[in-house]
Amino acid sequence: MRKSLIYGAVAVLALGAGALFLTERPLEVSVVSPETDVPLRIYGLGTVEARILSRVGFEVGATLETLDVDAGDTVRKGQELAVLHQGEQEARVLRARAAVAASTASLAKSTAALDRAQAVLAQRVAANDRQKALARQDVASAQRAEEAQRDEDVARADLAVAHADLAVIKAQGEDAAAALMMEETLLAHHRLKAPYDATVVARHVEPGTVVRAGDPIFTLIAPETVWIQAYIDEERAGQLALGQPGTIRLRSQPAGEFHGTVARIGLESDRVNEERRVWLTCTDCPQPMYLGEQAEVRILTGTRDRALMVPELAIDGFDGHRGTVWIVQDGRLGRAGLSFGARDDRGRVEVTAGLPDGAEIVAMPPKGADTGRLARIGTAP
């Protein structure tokens, strides 16, 4: 019985000593060390896009006769890309030209009639003047003088009619010329031409297709306007500015790293994904670039000569500005509320204020961490 009591006491002491060892032995922790020349980068995921992209088509509808280019071709401004069947429109142009010719002939006839009316008026004026002079000398009768005046008045009226006819013919001629211009313009619309120097991205139809006005025939891009559209988390987007440099990795070339510059920052964020769009031009990207290809960007927003960077996973209750971390001070674990600033693309945040003197921040709290527990600083992560 006595031996049993002794053995029980020894077992209790052993268990207590073990528990004390497990709970009071120093925990080995890694701490965050200050760094120099720290680059602050923002990570974003996006795609290759083009600032100038056009889905070009005809302004009229008809049967597509020929297509002169295909996807991947390079075209010059004004180069013919496709042609519609234009027999019906050519007939309209010929009809309009005939109307212009008829109007020209009518104008010539009206002009001759005006000249004739002016000549007749001049003759009637001269005859009337002679009759008036003879009537004053009682050589001619008053009746003949009245008839001469009447003939002059009729001639003046005929001249006015000739002027009016000429004005009508000129207006009809202008209308015919405008109609011809319109028909010729519609005929020109049967030929699709490149609006600028471009690369053909896609061809949407084939010859023989009946297309409607506005149907896309080709997708064109201006190759010099290809850039990267990336999406940045709103929590990090406040550090963005135009002109910041960035690195770009294309999914098709994961081993390559290319260089770009922030050219545009979207003024509207995505309300669902809470992301902001930015666009980067690329100075040394491979050619050709493929629209829609996935790309990763890292934008350099600044550097720090010296900074203490804490992993976000080590911060409790982090709201983007403040949070609580584990610290080691005087060989024991504790808690401290800190203020934070800029972030980098490695999931770390810069400490700006709140760290007690002589304290070091625990990079990743180990299991069993508790306030006041002994801690031993081990290898940094």
CA-CA distance, 100 to 106, in Å (whole number)? 10
pLDDT the model gives residue 17? 44
Q: H/E element holding 336?
A: strand 332-343
pLDDT the model gives residue 345? 85
CA-CA distance, 269 to 313, in Å (whole number)? 26
Residue holding tokens 């053995």?
A: 7
Our measurement of the distance from residue 334's CA atom to the centroid of its chain's CA atoms, rounded to an integer in Å, reads 52
Beta carbons of 9 and 189 less than 8 angstroms apart: no
Residue holding tokens 């990570």?
A: 43
Beta carbons of 362 and 31 less than 8 angstroms apart: yes
CA-CA distance, 259 to 245, in Å (whole number)? 7
Tell me how many degrees the CA angle 97-102-107 measures, rounded to the nearest 5.
Answer: 125
- 100 φ/ψ angles, rounded to the nearest 5 degrees: -65, -40
Judge if the upstream peptide bond of residue 288 is cis by omega within 30 degrees of 0.
Answer: yes
pLDDT the model gives residue 81? 96
Tens-binned pLDDT, residue by residue, of the chain (381 aa): 555 555 555 455 545 444 444 456 788 888 899 999 999 999 999 999 999 999 999 999 999 999 999 999 999 999 999 999 998 999 999 999 999 999 899 889 888 988 888 888 788 778 777 776 776 666 656 667 667 678 778 878 888 888 888 889 889 889 999 999 999 999 999 999 999 999 999 999 999 999 999 999 999 999 999 999 999 998 888 889 999 999 999 999 988 999 999 999 999 988 888 899 999 999 899 888 899 999 999 999 989 999 999 998 889 988 888 999 998 888 899 899 999 988 888 889 999 999 898 888 998 877 878 888 898 887 544
Q: What DSSP designation does 26 have?
A: P
CA-CA distance, 99 to 90, in Å (whole number)? 14
198-203-207-212 Cα dihedral, nearest 10 degrees:
-90
Q: What DSSP designation does 240 have?
A: -
pTM of the predicted model over 0.85: no
pLDDT the model gives residue 353? 92
297 Cβ neighbours under 8 A, 6+ residues apart: 43, 44, 45, 46, 228, 230, 246, 247, 248, 249, 260, 278, 280
pLDDT the model gives residue 20? 44
Taking each helix axis as running N to C, give the angle between helix 87-136 and helix 142-188, from 0 to 180 degrees, rounded to the nearest 10: 170
pLDDT the model gives residue 140? 57
For 120, 121, 127, 135, 158, the CA distances from 131, given in Å and listed in that order, are: 16, 15, 6, 6, 21
Q: What DSSP designation does 359 have?
A: -
CA-CA distance, 31 to 380, in Å (whole number)? 6
